[in-house]
């Protein structure tokens, strides 16, 4: 396909979303790991909280150590998507263990589960996001099952726990903490937290994936519009160059043709056969130069401003075949669907574009080989599919094939503009031009235009 003509962008904007997500995730892990160490130390030395310091600090140290190792060996990480997904799962499990050691479902930091869901939704896509929703909800639910009953009660939530049966107030206006405990010591409040978390995680996943998908679609459309604008600018420059060259070289070529004609006449009078041949050669080459200039001017500017008209596909095919020389006309195999709609196209420019595709196919094919042209109605439009049995192109050639002035033909056989101008014409009509090819398997060019 065509090379990327977009302007250079900042490095982070040009990396894959997974790589950007991994960079941000590393920063988040540094922040969470260091924050966890600070909170544990503050709880141990600044409060009377009875926390298992060694296991909690071990988890935080593991997170920081694995992060440091990942930074060092990041270039060897392989597939970023799988690595990032695995790290998210690992951290969710580590976070769950930490919550089990520090209050279970009543720990106010259980909201951190949502960070991993949000990161998966924005970077890894819908499948990973919904998988992590299921994992985080399961881990949050496990906190209710695995946390001892006493650990879920005596915490900052105690002032509004045990509301399941209305909760009796003692004489001092305080809630009786033992009057309304539900089965297994679970309170209505914590059950509500679990349900709210599951709903929030699902909402974050849904909105995150939808917004991310919309933004990526917009970025892709903007990039395509930028590429089309760049190609239009190059085509306009080419048109100006062709018109200028035709104008500037017309007069000297005409003078050379006149002098060569006089030279031929004089040589015939003198009976000098070699001079006659030289004069005729000069005239032939002048004629070839004029044809090249006329062809360049026609292909670069012909039809770009022409008004579209409703044309039956059969008329387009008839005009296409009429422009082919006899030795190629008999080798073109055309198959066409019935009842195809009329196309609104600039007739001359579109026939020229199809002619470019067919000419390229014949040029790439072995002598006497056939070229196929299939016309199919599809996707509310019509596709013109040209296939040859030539040598094909490798990935590097295919990437540059539609660029202007690029050609795989021998020097002097073509200017490398056919595919570039064919794409310009099809895109002008709201269509597309695509190429598929591989070495020794020929090339297929598909021009699709809306009906």
Residue 255 phi, psi dihedral angles, 5° rounding: -65, -45
**Is 103 in the same domain as 198?**
yes
In this prediction, residue 12 has a pLDDT band, given cuts at 50, 70 and 90, of very low
Residue 406 has pLDDT above 90, yes or no: no
Residue 381 phi, psi dihedral angles, 5° rounding: -160, -160
| Domain end residue (candidates: 277, 301, 325) | 301
**Is 48 in the same domain as 178?**
yes
**Is 398 in the same domain as 282?**
no
pLDDT above 90 as % of the chain = 11
Mean pLDDT calculated for residue range 119-129 = 85
Task: State the sign of the Cα–Cα–Cα–Cα dihedral 281, 252, 244, 349.
Answer: negative
pLDDT in tens, 140-180: 999 888 877 555 444 444 444 443 344 443 433 443 444 34
Mean pLDDT calculated for residue range 110-124 = 87
Task: Report if residue 121 sits inside a domain.
Answer: yes
Domain hosting residue 389, numbered range: 310-450
**Is 137 in the same domain as 261?**
no
Output the domain CATH number for residue 429: 3.30.565.10
More confident residue, 295 or 304: 295
**Is 205 in the same domain as 293?**
no
**Is 282 in the same domain as 418?**
no
**Is 327 in the same domain as 280?**
no
Note the pLDDT of residue 387.
93
Nearest to 394 by CA among 361, 438, 360: 438
Mean pLDDT calculated for residue range 400-415 = 66
pLDDT in tens, 423-449: 888 888 889 899 998 888 889 999 999
Residue 397 has pLDDT above 50, yes or no: yes
Task: Report if residue 63 sits inside a domain.
Answer: yes
Task: Report if residue 269 sits inside a domain.
Answer: yes
**Is 162 in the same domain as 55?**
yes
Mean pLDDT calculated for residue range 116-142 = 89
Lowest mean pLDDT among 33-42, 107-116, 179-188, 250-259: 179-188
Entry pTM: 0.51
Note the pLDDT of residue 180.
44
In this prediction, residue 135 has a pLDDT band, given cuts at 50, 70 and 90, of very high
Average pLDDT of the chain is: 78
Residue 382 has pLDDT above 90, yes or no: yes
Task: Report if residue 6 sits inside a domain.
Answer: no
Note the pLDDT of residue 297.
60
Note the pLDDT of residue 374.
94
| Domain end residue (candidates: 194, 210, 227) | 227
Distance CA 346, CA 331 (A): 27
Note the pLDDT of residue 17.
62
| Domain end residue (candidates: 185, 205, 227) | 227
**Is 223 in the same domain as 236?**
no
Q: How many domains does the chain have?
A: 3
Task: Report if residue 3 sits inside a domain.
Answer: no
pLDDT in tens, 269-300: 888 888 888 888 898 888 878 776 766 665 55
Note the pLDDT of residue 166.
40
Residue bearing tokens 């509310």: 380
Task: Report if residue 136 sits inside a domain.
Answer: yes
Residue 63 has pLDDT above 90, yes or no: no
In this prediction, residue 10 has a pLDDT band, given cuts at 50, 70 and 90, of very low
**Is 248 in the same domain as 323?**
no
Residue bearing tokens 């000297």: 252
pLDDT in tens, 322-378: 888 888 888 999 999 988 888 988 888 888 889 889 988 998 888 888 999 999 998
**Is 368 in the same domain as 329?**
yes
Task: Report if residue 2 sits inside a domain.
Answer: no
Give 267's contacts (C-beta < 8 A, 6+ positions apart): 273, 275, 276, 278, 279
**Is 143 in the same domain as 197?**
yes
Q: What one-character-per-residue DSSP string does 65-112 give?
A: HHHHHHHHTGGG---HHHHHHHHHHHHHHHHHHHHHTTTGGG-GGGGG
Residue 257 has pLDDT above 50, yes or no: yes
Task: Report if residue 202 sits inside a domain.
Answer: yes
Distance CA 74, CA 22 (A): 10
pLDDT above 70 as % of the chain = 76
């Amino acid at each position: 396909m065509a090379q990327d003509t977009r302007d250079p962008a900042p490095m982070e904007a040009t990396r894959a979303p997974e790589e950007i997500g991994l960079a941000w995730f590393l920063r988040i892990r540094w922040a969470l790991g260091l924050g966890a160490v600070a909170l544990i130390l503050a709880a141990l030395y600044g409060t009377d909280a009875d926390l298992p310091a060694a296991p909690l600090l071990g988890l935080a140290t593991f997170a920081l150590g694995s992060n440091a190792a990942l930074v060092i060996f990041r270039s060897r990480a392989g597939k970023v998507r799988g690595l990032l997904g695995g790290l998210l799962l690992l951290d969710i499990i580590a976070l769950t263990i930490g919550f089990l050691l520090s209050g279970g479902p009543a720990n106010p930091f259980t909201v951190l589960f949502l960070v991993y869901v949000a990161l998966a939704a924005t970077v890894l896509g819908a499948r990973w996001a919904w998988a992590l929703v299921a994992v985080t909800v399961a881990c949050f639910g496990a906190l209710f099952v695995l946390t001892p009953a006493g650990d879920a009660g005596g915490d900052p939530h105690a002032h509004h726990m045990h509301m399941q049966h209305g909760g009796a107030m003692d004489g001092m206006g305080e809630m009786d903490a033992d009057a309304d405990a539900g089965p297994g010591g679970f309170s209505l409040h914590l059950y509500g937290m679990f349900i709210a978390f599951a709903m929030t995680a699902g909402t974050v996943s849904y909105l995150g994936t939808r917004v991310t998908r919309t933004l990526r679609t917009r970025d892709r459309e903007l990039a395509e519009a930028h590429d089309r604008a760049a190609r239009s600018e190059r085509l306009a420059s080419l048109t100006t160059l062709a018109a200028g060259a035709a104008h500037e070289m017309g007069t000297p070529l005409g003078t050379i043709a006149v002098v060569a004609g006089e030279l031929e006449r004089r040589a015939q009078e003198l009976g000098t056969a070699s001079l006659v041949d030289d004069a005729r050669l000069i005239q032939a080459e002048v004629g070839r130069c004029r044809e090249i200039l006329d062809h360049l001017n026609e292909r670069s500017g012909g039809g770009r401003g022409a008004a579209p008209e409703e044309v039956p596909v059969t008329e387009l095919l008839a005009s296409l075949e009429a422009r082919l020389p006899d030795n190629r006309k008999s080798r073109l195999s055309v198959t066409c669907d019935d009842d195809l709609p009329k196309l609104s196209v600039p007739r001359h420019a579109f026939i020229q574009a199809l002619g470019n595709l067919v000419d390229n196919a014949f040029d790439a094919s072995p002598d006497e080989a056939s070229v196929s042209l299939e016309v199919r109605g599809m996707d509310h439009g019509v596709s013109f599919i040209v296939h040859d049995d030539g040598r094909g192109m490798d990935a590097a050639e295919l990437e540059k094939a539609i660029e202007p002035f690029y050609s795989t033909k021998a020097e002097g056989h073509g200017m490398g503009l056919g595919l570039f101008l064919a794409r310009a014409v099809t895109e002008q009509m709201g269509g597309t031009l695509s190429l598929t090819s591989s070495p020794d398997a020929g090339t297929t060019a598909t021009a699709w235009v809306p009906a």
